[in-house]
Structure 1
């Protein structure tokens, strides 16, 4: 009976009837079923606060099948319970089962570095991943992820020689995750060894990668290379911000299993005033909820691969640039699993017609807001830069819980913003005005780089409030 119900649930899932399929998976999926319905059941149980039921199902399925998808779910559950040794053991078994998968090697090393805090072990494991990255079909992406980690460790360990070597290798592949800090460090290193032309080249590459960077322009002048190019205007006009103060709040790196409400309260609770709006990055909130899909953990379906190929043909990626989210099969797969196969196929077909007619946005209009919130790999900070990050499960509910935790007279919102002058309040508390928040966050005060300021306090001056 349970096997039949799971098959019915799977059919409903394909037909994009998620409201019907999810409860079926939660109730009937067992350790004998395929990985996908078990994965859906595990996350439904987590959202229903049945973590023990999710753990029991994940452990039983992992022991029987050693599925990477459920193995990653089990890692998440162990991290939530702070059983980091057990999470590391699961990741180690994934590497043993799939020695040519660089993604499981990253997972294993990341647990050692970020959760077990064993820097020496992490460095050993990252080094072992280097040759696997070199022969990977997506060499540029895998090396970009590896070099980010090696650079961090060599920097923390004070190994300037190894850091410089890593930065040079990282720079050579023109990746989208080479940030201001790396450009500044490498330019200074080249200048120190007398290579002025090389240092200038690095900073000029930085202007392409980080078009609005003030720090890179200051360094260009400080190193004696003349006047840097002006900061280009944003594509969207920034509204007048007179009378509005925004306070980006620097935090630690947040991980899966962290409580987003407690995180915001910890860092902003003693800074807010009555009338403030506190915003939280949608990407960071989703990571804390575990709303992500790891490279290598889930196979890309034929449909996901086809749609990604069509998107990548229309959106060529230049050096230092990031690809369109849906140009990665894993991003399309994440969207497919969020909204169902039928809806995604219809959206892709209608979106293609829109492209022929010179119209954009039809694909996302049909897919809905969850697909619009998907962030591709390299978009997040390590250890989540080889994950596709999905949208927050219930952003309005999360916003209300944050607002209540911060006290009376405080509103909250979950924000997805970029450097193009566009902000989207994907969720907001009951007393908040989403269009007003989007206007005030249009200049993206949290940043899209490595600022570690996912929380922003937005405050109006008293006279502005009175006039409003």
Structure 2
């Protein structure tokens, strides 16, 4: 267990001052570090309203680790997402971008993440020429984190600046790569009335009559947030005793502090080797399987153990020989299937590998105790797959998974990780 993990363990015991002291001592003795101590200490300072210390910690980290571009991204994120200092954030992000002499497609490079931030910031402040420049740089990567909202913003900018044909090209890609997004489809029809756009429903496993699903929009849920208080406060005026409250697996894990920024992960030989046997097929604007990424595989090894992952890899190879899918995950266990690799999460957590919650069933029971409602932790996607990772008694798992197979919580920047299910 490294120092950062010890500090997180102290946080679970509500010993925040002791966690801060542990990290302070470590950083003083190890100015160059790769375990995320600077980031975590900065975050703890923010939690204790010590903004100046939070800023100073990351600035010192950048100074002492000039080759770690992730720390520069973290510093920019601190100014943008936490301190709301857009001008300082832009300066830091632009300085970071200047390190890249050519585009980098890898999700393990800060390049795409800084482009996502700058393009959206310039859109927000109305600097459309600069926004256009950065959106163009971003979209050429065909990244999985080019959200429906990014397609809409980029199209709006192109129309405003008179690039109607390019706008048409962009929105066509957006509609095609975001099936089921009615808002984006209607936006396309409204702005290009002579064009034909095909609206495709999201995949789902079936329809259950009389079931209502209410996605709940929240503020940005962060590491170590009290997830039970968050769920209680956001559902209090809507929920009824016979409802089911669901929470996204990824967000639930993040609130537990279970996330690993890529700068802190050093893939082992085993992770690099085994990840090669996972399908490397990457879809434009969709990405590849999480465990095809050796960084995510390293976290799978951390979660499941090297022996189990090795046996699972052998099982996967045998399964392929016999035309059977999923043998790797059957042997590796449920935690391996819950891992999200970058950039699956929304900024500022998009450069982290996030496993599932530590104990989903225990979490659900605590939610039920707090709210009086049945509860479930859900892992869902836009391919018609929903998995009740954990749930309380009295829930029909199969029916709940069918009901949520259209992924009402969404997976982009909607910030609707909580869904109330009625009538089930």
Instruction: Provide the rounded CA distance (Å) in 2 between the counterparts of 1:377 and 1:152.
Output: 19
Query: 1:397 aligned to 2:362?
Result: yes
- Three-state SS of the structure 2 residue aligned to 1:132 is coil
CA gap of 1:328–1:76, structure 2 versus 1, over 3 A, is farther
Instruction: Provide the rounded CA distance (Å) in 1 between the counterparts of 2:58 and 2:310.
Output: 34
Instruction: Provide the rounded CA distance (Å) in 2 between the counterparts of 1:390 and 1:82.
Output: 28
Q: What's the offset of the Cα at 1:124?
A: 1.1
Q: What's the offset of the Cα at 1:340?
A: 1.8
Instruction: Provide the rounded CA distance (Å) in 2 between the counterparts of 1:96 and 1:59.
Output: 16
Q: What's the offset of the Cα at 1:330?
A: 1.3
Q: What's the offset of the Cα at 1:268?
A: 0.9
Query: 1:369 aligned to 2:337?
Result: no
Query: 1:142 aligned to 2:105?
Result: no
- Three-state SS of the structure 2 residue aligned to 1:69 is coil
1:386 is aligned to 351
- Three-state SS of the structure 2 residue aligned to 1:262 is helix
Q: What's the offset of the Cα at 1:77?
A: 3.6
- Within a 5 Å distance, the mapping from 1:30-45 to structure 2 comes to 36-45=1-10
- Three-state SS of the structure 2 residue aligned to 1:443 is coil
Instruction: Provide the rounded CA distance (Å) in 2 between the counterparts of 1:69 and 1:360.
Output: 35
Q: Which moved further from structure 2: 394-403 or 425-434? A: 425-434
- Three-state SS of the structure 1 residue aligned to 2:35 is helix
- Within a 5 Å distance, the mapping from 1:227-266 to structure 2 comes to 227-231=196-200, 234=203, 237-266=204-233
CA gap of 1:457–1:158, structure 2 versus 1, over 3 A, is same
Q: 1:69 aligns with which of 25, 35, 51?
A: 35
Gaps of 5+ in 2: none
Normalised by the length of structure 2, the TM-score is 0.91
1:97 is aligned to 64
Normalised by the length of structure 1, the TM-score is 0.83
1:319 is aligned to 284
Question: In the alignment, is the contact (CA less than 8 A) between 1:79 and 1:256 conserved in 2?
Answer: no
Deviations 1:106-134 (A, max 9, x none): 11111122222222211111111102244
- Three-state SS of the structure 2 residue aligned to 1:350 is helix
Determine which structure has the larger helix proportion and give its number.
Answer: 1
CA gap of 1:431–1:54, structure 2 versus 1, over 3 A, is farther
- Three-state SS of the structure 2 residue aligned to 1:238 is coil
Give aligned pairs, total: 420
Instruction: Provide the rounded CA distance (Å) in 1 between the counterparts of 2:100 and 2:235.
Output: 40
Question: In the alignment, is the contact (CA less than 8 A) between 1:61 and 1:70 conserved in 2?
Answer: no
Instruction: Provide the rounded CA distance (Å) in 2 between the counterparts of 1:201 and 1:135.
Output: 24
Q: What's the offset of the Cα at 1:445?
A: 0.9
Query: 1:303 aligned to 2:303?
Result: no
1:415 is aligned to 378
Query: 1:55 aligned to 2:55?
Result: no
1:115 is aligned to 82
Deviations 1:153-194 (A, max 9, x none): 223323223222222222222211111122122223333444
Instruction: Provide the rounded CA distance (Å) in 1 between the counterparts of 2:298 and 2:138.
Output: 28
Instruction: Provide the rounded CA distance (Å) in 1 between the counterparts of 2:222 and 2:26.
Output: 25
Query: 1:424 aligned to 2:387?
Result: yes
Deviations 1:371-427 (A, max 9, x none): 1111111111110000011111122222122222223xx111111111112111112
Q: 1:195 aligns with which of 139, 146, 163?
A: 163
Instruction: Provide the rounded CA distance (Å) in 1 between the counterparts of 2:56 and 2:105.
Output: 27
CA gap of 1:336–1:116, structure 2 versus 1, over 3 A, is same
Larger Rg belongs to: 1
Give the superposed CA RMSD.
Answer: 2.3
Q: Which moved further from structure 2: 67-76 or 158-167? A: 67-76
Question: In the alignment, is the contact (CA less than 8 A) between 1:133 and 1:142 conserved in 2?
Answer: no
Gaps of 5+ in 1: 1-35
Question: In the alignment, is the contact (CA less than 8 A) between 1:300 and 1:330 conserved in 2?
Answer: yes
Question: In the alignment, is the contact (CA less than 8 A) between 2:276 and 2:292 conserved in 1?
Answer: yes
Question: In the alignment, is the contact (CA less than 8 A) between 1:154 and 1:162 conserved in 2?
Answer: yes
Q: Which moved further from structure 2: 187-196 or 122-131? A: 187-196
Question: In the alignment, is the contact (CA less than 8 A) between 1:190 and 1:198 conserved in 2?
Answer: yes
CA gap of 1:134–1:267, structure 2 versus 1, over 3 A, is farther
Instruction: Provide the rounded CA distance (Å) in 2 between the counterparts of 1:425 and 1:390.
Output: 15
Question: In the alignment, is the contact (CA less than 8 A) between 1:399 and 1:414 conserved in 2?
Answer: yes
CA gap of 1:58–1:346, structure 2 versus 1, over 3 A, is farther
Q: Which moved further from structure 2: 48-57 or 392-401? A: 48-57
CA gap of 1:299–1:94, structure 2 versus 1, over 3 A, is farther
Instruction: Provide the rounded CA distance (Å) in 2 between the counterparts of 1:330 and 1:446.
Output: 26
Q: What's the offset of the Cα at 1:232?
A: 5.7
